[in-house]
Chain A
């Protein structure tokens, strides 16, 4: 069974640009969560989607958005990039929002110059 797949794995952008990251969950998993990892801050919760609906949202500005498609694949978008957005963005899936264990992808490493 394939794991959680995130693309791209690495990318470099400049301030003011926008970026879209993609996540394909484990087959059969309908919940997808996104986290931002920065040194010293751990994993900061961005949002969770279930059945194409945003179920939970973290404390991030509106520049961070996401969506989920009918096949459970998810994308997150960051507009007007800032230097502080440089981070590892992790996607995790689970069968549904009530399941406790998340399965993570390897992440997308974003560098903003």
Chain B
């Protein structure tokens, strides 16, 4: 049962343009959402998060949007840089599963110079 879905396995963007990574979830009890970035041979690192009581959170070039009615969140990166090329994981926590964090399958972002 895939409770957190990232339907795009990969995304290619030109340097300086906007990158939009999408994520859908099925469990309406999730109350906290996070994005992690992963480079090869390293563990995922926390990027940005949002509580279910908000619809937007911004941190520098990164903004996360949450649409609770659609059970959808997205990560916007503006402007995209070649160093942003990595795998991005969407994650959610809360609900009947306690505080365990459920991850999506990831989206590989390529930023072309």
Q: Do A and B come from one complex?
A: yes
Contact pick for A56, options B49, B91, B97, CB 8 Å: B97
Closest to A101 in B: B46
- The yes or no answer to B32 lying at the interface (CB within 8 A) is yes
- On chain B, the number of residues with a Cβ less than 8 Å from chain A's Cβ atoms is 25
* Total cross-chain contacts (CB, 8 A): 61
Is there an interface contact between B6 and A42, defined as CB atoms closer than 8 Å?
A: yes
Is there an interface contact between A40 and B105, defined as CB atoms closer than 8 Å?
A: yes
Binds A, one of B37-45, B53-61, B69-77, B78-86: B37-45
Contact pick for A102, options B6, B46, B97, B104, CB 8 Å: B46
Contact pick for A105, options B43, B46, B100, B106, CB 8 Å: B43
Is there an interface contact between B34 and A101, defined as CB atoms closer than 8 Å?
A: yes
- On chain A, the number of residues with a Cβ less than 8 Å from chain B's Cβ atoms is 26
What CA separation (Å) do A103 and B46 show in the bound complex? Answer: 7
Taking the nearest CB of chain A, how far is it from the CB of B94, in angstroms? 9
Q: List residues of chain B with CB within 8 A of the CB of A92.
A: 43
Is there an interface contact between A33 and B101, defined as CB atoms closer than 8 Å?
A: yes
Docked complex: B4-63 residues within 8 A CB-CB of A: 6, 9, 32, 34, 36, 41-46, 49
- The yes or no answer to A43 lying at the interface (CB within 8 A) is yes
Is there an interface contact between A43 and B44, defined as CB atoms closer than 8 Å?
A: yes
Is there an interface contact between A42 and B103, defined as CB atoms closer than 8 Å?
A: yes
Q: List residues of chain A with CB within 8 A of the CB of B9.
A: 40
Is there an interface contact between A104 and B101, defined as CB atoms closer than 8 Å?
A: no
Is there an interface contact between B32 and A100, defined as CB atoms closer than 8 Å?
A: yes
Q: List residues of chain B with CB within 8 A of the CB of A43.
A: 44, 89, 91, 103, 106
Docked complex: A67-113 residues within 8 A CB-CB of B: 90, 92, 97-107
- Residues on A facing B (Cβ under 8 Å): 4, 33, 35, 40-45, 48, 55-56, 58, 90, 92, 97-107
Q: List 16 A-B contacts (CB under 8 A).
A: A33-B100, A40-B9, A42-B6, A42-B103, A42-B104, A42-B105, A43-B89, A43-B103, A45-B101, A55-B98, A55-B99, A55-B100, A100-B99, A101-B46, A102-B101, A104-B44
